[in-house]
A and B are shown apart, each in its own frame.
Chain A
Amino acid sequence: RKEVEQDPGPFNVPEGATVAFNCTYSNSASQSFFWYRQDCRKEPKLLMSVYSSGNEDGRFTAQLNRASQYISLLIRDSKLSDSATYLCVVTPDNYGQNFVFGPGTRLSVLP
């Protein structure tokens, strides 16, 4: 099993739709979790960190479920500008390990 898995998509949704992505991770000792966004042919950029209590930033909500070892990203009221690939990122533990990136989920928001 890969360390971090994501549904590659693509998810094609109309403007204004709500869309959710899941990401599963295999290491139960994982400590930090992030969602990054990557536009076509550009570098990844941090979208949001994922906290144990869940967190929200405008139209974006991130949740962590440690028992089932997955994190989720919910995007409400999708905009055309949300079209991108969303990368799930996990740090296995707080000592001696590096980020593990998921393969990404591609989102296309259609007019």
Chain B
Amino acid sequence: NAGVTQTPKFRVLKTGQSMTLLCAQDMNHEYMYWYRQDPGMGLRLIHYSVGEGTTAKGEVPDGYNVSRLKKQNFLLGLESAAPSQTSVYFCASSYSQVDIQYFGAGTRLSVL
């Protein structure tokens, strides 16, 4: 009963380094999302996908890229990490855009 799985769980980067966060879901959901959560600011949508091969920008897309080559996977990339990208990143998936979203356990990223 995996649901939504995120890897890695923790990561420390130096400014300018790149990395990719992986999100995998086994619920056959069409919609997938990447959020970041910062203290006092709630969850903010970075990018989302409404199906395999599609991606769209959310509220705070700058500095991030995404890809959805397979329905079950949604990748979030940071090409050149900045300290402002230090945050907790959550992936989520849902059956439809107004349906319940199920979240992964999160990735804690620190950029030094």
Interface residues of A (CB under 8 A from B): 8, 31-32, 34, 41-46, 49, 87, 91, 94, 96-99, 101-104
Contacts and interface: CB of A to CB of B under 8 A. Distances in A.
A31 B98 contact: yes
Interface residues of B, number: 20
B77 interface: no
Contacts of A87: 42-43
A13 B102 CA distance: 29
Contact of B106 (A43, A49, A99, A101): A43
B41 A103 contact: yes
A98 B100 contact: no
B40 A8 contact: yes
B74 interface: no
Nearest to A4: B42
Interface in B38-69: 40-45, 48, 58
Q: Which 6 A-B pairs have the closest CB atoms?
A: A43-B103, A103-B42, A101-B43, A32-B98, A91-B98, A101-B42
Contacts of B100: 34, 46, 49
A42 B105 CA distance: 6
Contacts of A31: 98
Nearest to A94: B98
Contacts of B103: 43-45
A38 B60 CA distance: 22
A99 B40 contact: no
Contacts of B48: 98
B40 A103 contact: yes
Given A43-B90, A43-B103, A43-B105, A102 B97 contact: no
Nearest to B99: A32
